[in-house]
Amino acid sequence: MNKKIQHIDTIIVGAGIAGIASAYYLKKGRPRSSFFILEALDNFGGTWYTHNYPGVRSDSDLFTFGYSFKPWKDAPIATAKEILKYIGETIEENKLQNHIKYNHKIIQAEWSSREKKWFITADHTKSRQTKKFSCNFLQMCQGYYRQNQGYVPEWKNLKDFNGKFIHTEEWPKNLNYKNKKIIVIGSGATAATTIPVLAKKAKHITMLQRTPTFYRTSTIGTEEIASTLRDITNDSDWIHKIVREQILINQEIFIKRCSEEPEKVRFELLKEIKNILGENFDVEKHFSPSYRPWQQRIALTPDAELFKSIANGDVSVVTDEIDMFTKNGILLKSGLELHSDIIIAATGFNMNVLGDIKFIIDKKILNLKDTITYRGMMFTTVPNLIWTFGYFRQAWTLRAEMIANFMVRLMDYMDTVDSKKITVALRKKDENMKILSWINDEEFNPGYLSRVLNKMPKSGSNIEWVHNQNYWYEKDIIPNIDLSGEEFIYE
Ligand SMILES: Cc1cc2nc3c(=O)[nH]c(=O)nc-3n(C[C@H](O)[C@H](O)[C@H](O)COP(=O)(O)OP(=O)(O)OC[C@H]3O[C@@H](n4cnc5c(N)ncnc54)[C@H](O)[C@@H]3O)c2cc1C
């Protein structure tokens, strides 16, 4: 073996909330196997480390976004700082510190069937040196978007604007927005998070949206359950488990209602807004999306804070299309010109495909789009790799933990059958299966997904080849997958 290549059993890509979950389960489930996490950044936390815009917080409650094995003891919605602290405690409590190599950005992963190993090339971002590793198994916890890089649509004359232009993904340190006129472009989760906070200091904020978004104004009763239980006991493990279960049940009912009686749910969501903004506000125009509730993630505005800032005049809403940027602001297709000192784009992410890593399988470059995904966890033709991709509509971590457990079970099974290579492949009964796009856009269709759909793996019409987004289905299926099934090829 080449001395310069450090070998380890498993490499986990990324020290975000998912990578740390994988490390926890790997350490607990396979104490004799070696692993480390390669992380491009200089700290853990991923999303919660890189986002700095004012007010940045979770959208999910931390009883489900937090880990099942570490109770959440605070208010259900948490700031990035609180989530980072929670992840940091998990690392410390489970002695994972020495398993993380920071500043290691993986640029290439090459599989050799002859050696039954992955060969990994990483850029050490501080020393600019190239580091080489090899491993038996790769656990991809790369998240789904490029950190510190926002998506900016191709707007006409952007450079003509004389004020400051900022993307929420690339928030500058010490931005002075006191008494400034601000336009925030976008109305999704990020806009709903930051606008009420910016509004406290800014002169005025205009939320400019091309199309409306659905909002929730509470975490479906979580606060009440948690505080009632805290009155009874201080057993945080017990409280965490009960609140988590209750939230999951509430969510299941809500998500079911969204598909079974979408118009009723729409009516209820809009009614909450009408109660705050009054009958004279055109709620239908600004807050009634063309899609069904849950066809895109519903943004949270706790305590209806966004609508309270609109009601008190700190924030106004414009639903229109951008024609071009001007010296003083934005000219809209309707002919209206909005003036502002600062324009903030809350226009989303650029998705990363497998951590933007170049994958080579037995000397052939991998095009992920040529593969079919096995339950959104593995890909045909890609050996010894598990892909962690959480839920869009429920807490991401619920799925991340499930997949980490699956990985441990699969590795144990490989030991039992004395196998060094596992690949998934279509079965005989899949021969005539319909090949479909990765995610059914009738079900879920946010812009950041549609923009990369042509680079993503395919799915199939048989359930094993579907990337499911239903926790209630997967929680019973994934832990019980028959690893001796025809779709698993062990060598
Ligand atoms: C502001 C904000 C709020 C959110 N709120 C919620 C929420 O409330 N609920 C929810 O379910 N989801 C939420 N999300 C989505 C969120 O990203 C995920 O839920 C979750 O944090 C993702 O965790 P992760 O560990 O999978 O990925 P990330 O947090 O993205 O971490 C991935 C890590 O992998 C590293 N990495 C990637 N590629 C490489 C490479 N090639 N080499 C080395 N390292 C690499 C990255 O540097 C990063 O540290 C939110 C997203 C944002 C931006």
Tens-digit pLDDT profile for residues 396-438: 999 999 999 999 999 999 999 999 999 999 999 999 999 999 9
| 300 and 278 housed in the same domain | yes
Higher pLDDT, 171 or 4: 171
**What is the CA(190)–ligand 1 centre distance, in A?**
14
Interatomic CA distance for residues 481 and 477, integer angstroms: 6
* Ligand 1, pocket-test mutation among 102, 141, 297, 396, most atoms within 8 A of CB: 396
Interatomic CA distance for residues 93 and 96, integer angstroms: 8
pLDDT at 238: 93
Provide CB contacts within 8 A for 345, sequence distance 6+: 150, 152, 165, 166, 167, 168, 185, 186
**Which has the closest alpha carbon to 340: 130, 180, 143?**
180
Measured by CA distance, the residue closest to atom 24 of ligand 1 is 143
Domain residues for 465? 5-147+350-490
Higher pLDDT, 393 or 307: 307
Q: Tell me the β-bridge partners of 337.
A: 331
Measured by CA distance, the residue closest to atom 27 of ligand 1 is 143
| 319 and 414 housed in the same domain | no
Look at the alpha carbons of 42, 43, 45, 50 in this order and tell me if their dihedral is positive or negative.
Answer: negative
| 163 and 306 housed in the same domain | yes
| 159 and 123 housed in the same domain | no
| 194 and 206 housed in the same domain | yes
pLDDT value at 16 more than 80 = yes
pLDDT at 1: 47
Provide CB contacts within 8 A for 472, sequence distance 6+: 248, 252
Q: Tell me the β-bridge partners of 11.
A: 36, 138
| 77 and 122 housed in the same domain | yes
Higher pLDDT, 226 or 123: 123
Per-residue pLDDT tens for 165-187?
999 999 999 899 999 999 999 99
pLDDT value at 107 more than 60 = yes
Question: If you average pLDDT over residues 101-126, what whole number do you get?
Answer: 98
Q: Please answer whether residues 63 and 72 qualify as being in contact, where contact means their C-beta atoms are separated by less than 8 angstroms.
A: yes
| 126 and 207 housed in the same domain | no
Measured by CA distance, the residue closest to atom 17 of ligand 1 is 47
**Residue ending a domain, choose from 347, 382, 409:** 347
| 253 and 395 housed in the same domain | no
pLDDT band at 227 (very low <50, low <70, confident <90, very high): confident
Per-residue pLDDT tens for 273-294?
999 999 899 999 999 999 999 8
Instruction: Tell me how many domains the chain contains.
Output: 2
**Residue ending a domain, choose from 326, 347, 368:** 347
**What is the CA(229)–ligand 1 centre distance, in A?**
31
Provide CB contacts within 8 A for 422, sequence distance 6+: 383, 384, 410, 414, 488, 489, 490, 491
Question: If you average pLDDT over residues 156-164, what whole number do you get?
Answer: 97
| 338 and 355 housed in the same domain | no
Pocket of ligand 1 (CB under 6 A): 13-19, 38-41, 46-47, 51, 56, 58-60, 65, 105-106, 141-143, 147, 355-357, 390, 395-396
CATH of the domain at 83: 3.50.50.60
**What is the CA(277)–ligand 1 centre distance, in A?**
34
Q: Please answer whether residues 223 and 230 qualify as being in contact, where contact means their C-beta atoms are separated by less than 8 angstroms.
A: no
Cβ atoms within 10 Å, residue 130? 12
pLDDT value at 220 more than 70 = no
**Residue ending a domain, choose from 347, 365, 382:** 347
Per-residue pLDDT tens for 66-83?
999 999 998 899 999 999
Higher pLDDT, 156 or 259: 156
| 110 and 172 housed in the same domain | no
| 339 and 401 housed in the same domain | no
Tell which atom from ligand 1 comes closest to the C-alpha of 16.
Answer: 25
Query: E strand or H helix at 165, and its extent?
Result: strand 164-167
Question: If you average pLDDT over residues 359-383, what whole number do you get?
Answer: 98
| 371 and 477 housed in the same domain | yes
Least confident residue range of 150-164, 208-222, 454-468? 208-222
Interatomic CA distance for residues 140 and 452, integer angstroms: 18
Per-residue pLDDT tens for 230-250?
889 889 999 999 999 999 998
Question: If you average pLDDT over residues 33-45, what whole number do you get?
Answer: 98
**What is the CA(45)–ligand 1 centre distance, in A?**
8
**What is the CA(297)–ligand 1 centre distance, in A?**
16
pLDDT at 490: 98
